[in-house]
Structure 1
Amino acid sequence: MDATAMLEWLLERNVSALLRVDAGRDGIRPWTFHASSEPQHDDSWSVRTDADSAEECLHRARKALKQHGLDLPE
């Protein structure tokens, strides 16, 4: 699943998410993924992963999201 499909899949499940690259980090883990559930729920959560590449960042994000019951398709 590519980044766009992943973000759309999360949107369909009312999860706010973003993938960002930050050039200001001088190449040190410049990729960030952040996702969060609806803040007004008692069981709200958030996930953040940082990595050296977009691929690794999304891989880490998938693992973190799975811990919150979001098992993304391949």
Structure 2
Amino acid sequence: MSKDGVAFCLDSIDLTGDTTAIASLMSLSTTIPEIQKESGIFSFDLAWSDIQTFISSYFSPIGEPFWQ
């Protein structure tokens, strides 16, 4: 779920593993021990429009982002 309430499905709420978010959003990296030991960039901290920018086209079998 995004910060602005848009539901979407990924393997994890931590966007650092499957997106390009880590490079440009390191300032948003936080540690939430109840979720995971390592710091991460969590979907609930970002608006849907921000998430769309960073989600890899890996999630679409035709190479296009799945939300188009």
> Is this a same-fold pair by TM over 0.5?
no
> As a proportion of its length, which structure holds more strand?
1
> As a proportion of its length, which structure holds more helix?
1
Bigger RCO of structures 1 and 2 (CA < 8 A, at least 6 apart): 2
TM-score by length of 1: 0.29
